Amino acid sequence: MNARGFTLVEAMVAIMVFGVGVLGLAGSAAVMTRQMSSGNRLARATIIARSRVEQFTAQDCTKLANGTASVAGFSEQWVVIPVHAGVRVAEKVTFTGEQASRTRLFVTLLPCPANP
């Protein structure tokens, strides 16, 4: 820097350093957006599975049956297995991920006094 201000070389170096920083931030923002989107889909899959279990909790255990359903791009498949004094519900929720289909398995044990 001289008495009249910055030289052309100093200004170009400053612009390059600033540009590298901006590109780094842009790359980080893209990664964070993908991760947040993936987390949102996983949270929705968990909410869908929890909702199904709550529906089963409100029903008579002897009337529960295996089944499938699709909700807003998420497909569910559940299996009801009678066990001692209850039923075991295994629910598989499949949804589209970033690059491929993803599946999460949720297993719950529901107490049923009618199942000795």
Where helices occur in the chain by DSSP H, the ranges are 8-57
Phi, psi of 90 (to 5 degrees): -110, 115
In this prediction, residue 75 carries a pLDDT of 95
* CA torsion through residues 63, 68, 74, 80, sign: positive
Which residue(s) pair with 108 in the sheet? 89
Kindly tell me if the per-residue pLDDT of 116 is higher than 60.
no
Nearest CA to 113 among 83, 92, 86?
86
Entry pTM: 0.69
The tens digit of pLDDT for each residue in 23-72 reads 888 888 777 877 777 888 889 999 999 999 999 988 888 889 999 999 88
Domain covering 8-111, topology: Pantoate--beta-alanine Ligase; Chain: A,domain 2 (3.30.1300)
